[in-house]
Amino acid sequence: MSRVLITGSSDGLGLTAARLLAAEGHAVIMHARNESRAADLRSSLPSAGDMVIGDLETLDGMRLVAEQANALGRFDAVIHNAAVGSRHGRHVTKDGLEHIFAVNTLAPYVLTELIQMPSRLVYLSSNMHNSASGDLSDPQWERREWNGSLAYSESKLFVVALAFANAARRPDVGCNAVDPGWVATRMGGPGGSSDFVRGAATQAWLAVSDDPAATVSGGYFRHQAQVRANPAAYDADLQEGLLAYCAELSGTKES
């Protein structure tokens, strides 16, 4: 059985993936943004074991989560599930970073660099990443007129680029990205047409399955089938530029 860390697992797709994995006997390490969410999580999933707590919108919170995770030992897989949506206006974190970029893109970068390297990394993206161009000229939306939907789409394109970049530079690690479909989560809104189990099944499968289709690297998946991502995500220049940019923002040296 595997040990799997799932970020953003106090509700929604993260919690559903945790339930699927726990039902199969895997050890699932949960993550909550704060103590209140952790308490809700313990109520939702009484069988939850170890937990890490920290707000992934801040660099301090990212480092705190990584420290707690490392104190628990090496994981077989990490599912980068935590994300925020675009329902509000542009919000800047205490680190001076645009909120969506900080949580959706920078946090999985920092955690990947700081947590003991697992055998598998799974990055949650979205079909909306296809709406983005992969332009790194203004990722913090400091010069452009704010467009929350596009900011979210860009963050999810960058997540796929991170997965592909890590697949290239870590040949001994399975690194893949997932489109879970439009699920009616608090972030996705009530109109989602995919159910929670189907939306969470692919990331759980990629984290633990011995199926040859799940033991690949550098793939983009939807409902357990590998599909093509936005062509920009395969661009090596975008991947390297994004890695360098995230390293500079976070003060985290690429490993």
Compute the average pLDDT of residues 190-206: 79
Q: Catalytic residue among 156, 220, 234, 245, which?
A: 156
253 is catalytic: no
Compute the average pLDDT of residues 71-75: 97
Is 60 exceeded by the pLDDT of residue 251? yes
Is 60 exceeded by the pLDDT of residue 98? yes
Beta strands 174-179 and 219-222: pairing type? parallel
Under 8 Å between Cβ of 129 and 156: yes
pTM of the model: 0.93
Distance CA 236, CA 165 (A): 8
Q: Domains in the chain: how many in total?
A: 1
Domain membership flag for residue 255: no
Domain membership flag for residue 163: yes
Q: Catalytic residue among 94, 109, 123, 152, which?
A: 152
152 is catalytic: yes
Q: What pLDDT score does 193 carry?
A: 47
Q: What are the tens digits of pLDDT across the range 39-67? A: 877 777 777 678 999 999 999 999 999 99
Phi, psi of 31 (to 5 degrees): -135, 135
Angle, CA of 130, 200 and 117, to the nearest 5°: 85
Q: What pLDDT score does 42 carry?
A: 79
Under 8 Å between Cβ of 18 and 188: no
Domain membership flag for residue 187: yes
Domain membership flag for residue 232: yes
Joined together, the tokens standing for residue 125 give: 């993206």
- Residue 238 CB contacts under 8 Å (≥ 6 apart), including other chains: 134, 136, 161, 232
| 124: number of Cβ within 10 Å | 29
Report the mean per-residue pLDDT for the chain: 92
Q: What pLDDT score does 103 carry?
A: 98
Q: What are the tens digits of pLDDT across the range 105-159? A: 999 999 999 999 999 999 999 999 999 999 999 999 999 999 999 999 999 999 9
Angle, CA of 3, 212 and 74, to the nearest 5°: 20
Is 80 exceeded by the pLDDT of residue 185? no
Q: Strand locations in 45-119, DSSP E?
A: 51-53, 77-80
Give percent of the chain above pLDDT 90: 80
Domain ranges, residue 164: 3-250
Domain membership flag for residue 80: yes
Q: What is the CATH number of the domain that holds 116?
A: 3.40.50.720
